[in-house]
Amino acid sequence: MQAFRVLHLTLLIAILSTLSVSAQPELNATKVDRNVVFGMYSGLALLMDVYYPEKQNGYGIIHITGSAWSRRFTLDAKMINHNRHVKFQGEALVKAGYTLFSINHRAAPRFLYPAAVEDAQRAVRYIRYHADKFGIDPHRIGAIGGSSGGHLVCMLGVLDGNEIPVDDTPINRVSSKVQCVIANAPPTSFLESSIGDSFLGFKKRDRPSSIEYKTAREASPIFHVSPDDPPFLLVHGDKDEIVPMTHSKNMHKKLTEMNVVSKLYIVEGGAHGPGLVNTPEWKNEFVNWMDEHLMKK
């Protein structure tokens, strides 16, 4: 009887493990390293999946999927990178030879700004520090993301990358700034609307002297743009009712004013996120943008 119970338990674990793996996106990669720990926050592991192409071109791209920066208060909440966005934003890049790092991050309402930004930066630092292990150039790392993930990759492009002033950890002394960005429908200013209320942890932010206003401004990529920022490709559907296209338009304008290479690609008839699935031609834009700007020395 005891032997039967052990066998039953073993089979159950095997079945659950299979189900868990099948829930993770498949990108037709030659090899996938699942659940790589890139950081640990008070016992909470920060995980990412690494997708290796058949033939690596020597460049890595961090991917952050949209999640409204949030996850439920449960012990079985879906991981952020268990999302079809990973496939339709990342598969073409893997096919083109890029190594893709799709990450999870701390999420609202348990963790508010700047937790998600800090986790995204930590991921870049970890990838850059272990570049030899992953077979990529540590000096040329790209980023791609959509919606809330688009916001986070924008932050990776516009922040200086040295926001940890004093830290004796080797990984955290490495820069978190990326060298090429693709953002799909990114919220770029939290002063324009109520977008990001749950991420920031408050609603009212209309008084410039208030802490709320200053925090919302600090969390907005558009207010960090500077001439040394990397090339930006902004992709936005003109029928997006979740994140208005003005977010990408204004970001593109600000980048251009600062003489940063920027392109705004408008998807006619495209809605938010999954609404772009039926317009696959922009996937070629992803590969072309990285080929032209990330590989450029």
Count other C-beta atoms under 10 Å from residue 61's C-beta: 28
DSSP lists the bridge partners of residue 232 as 181, 262
Q: How far is CA 172 from CA 38, 49, 163, 184, 265, in A?
A: 11, 20, 9, 28, 34
Residue 219 contacts by C-beta under 8 Å, 6 or more apart in sequence?
A: 113, 114, 117, 190, 196, 199, 200
Query: Right CATH number for 29-293 from 3.40.50.1820, 3.10.290.10, 3.40.50.300, 3.40.190.10?
Result: 3.40.50.1820
- CA 217/CA 69 separation, integer angstroms: 17
Q: At what angle do helices 84-95 and 282-293 cross, to 10 degrees?
A: 50
Tell me the three state secondary structure of residue 127.
helix
Of all helices (H) and strands (E), which one includes residue 198?
A: helix 197-200
> For position 14, what pLDDT does the model report?
36
* Per-residue confidence in pLDDT tens, the chain, 297 aa: 444 343 343 333 332 333 333 456 777 788 999 999 999 999 999 999 999 999 999 999 999 999 999 998 888 888 988 887 788 789 999 999 999 999 999 999 999 999 999 999 999 999 999 999 999 999 999 999 999 999 999 999 999 998 876 677 899 999 999 999 999 999 999 997 789 999 999 988 888 899 999 999 999 999 999 999 999 999 999 999 999 999 999 999 999 999 999 999 998 888 887 555 555 666 788 999 999 999 876
Reading the block at residue 69, the tokens are 């920066």
> For position 86, what pLDDT does the model report?
85
| Domain ranges within the chain, ordered by starting residue | 29-293
Across the chain, how many H-helices and E-strands are there? 9, 8
> For position 80, what pLDDT does the model report?
87
- The model's pTM is 0.89
Reading the block at residue 263, the tokens are 């392109």
